[in-house]
Structure 1
Amino acid sequence: MSDRNEALNEKLTDAMVPGFEVEFDPDEADEAGSFREDALSDQDATDSSGDE
């Protein structure tokens, strides 16, 4: 495991401690999946409403 991955894993473990604040740089946050977009698209939301 690379030093970068090891450091990220340690930060993620620390982040699980209630009240403990961990700082992530933008690249770490992206790698950890913090900015994964999984919202419905406009079309999917419209299709799921049942008001056609």
Structure 2
Amino acid sequence: MKLNNEKDALLDVVNQKMNDLKDTLTLSIEFSPDEADLAGAFKEDALSVQDAEDSSIG
């Protein structure tokens, strides 16, 4: 696990990249795996099988 000051610095970089993307939608910015994780790129929010079955009409 990263030290708090390293994580804070990484979060500052991510926030700046996200602000740059918001200002220029066609801009292509690279994110490191840690930066992408902090930005929410790997957040799993898919339905579970049970949720999908519960929501089906039938």
- Residue deviations 1:17-41, cap 9 Å, x none? 1211111011100011111111110
RMSD: 1.5
Return the structure number with greater relative CO, CA threshold 8 A, min gap 6: 2
What is the match of residue 14 of structure 2? 8
Select the structure that is richer in helix: 2
Structure 1 spans left out of the alignment, 5+ residues: none
Q: Percent identity?
A: 47
Please, what TM-score do these two structures have when normalized by structure 2? 0.74
- The runs of at least 4 aligned residues of structure 1 exceeding 6 Å deviation read none
Q: Paired residues, what number?
A: 51
Please, what TM-score do these two structures have when normalized by structure 1? 0.81
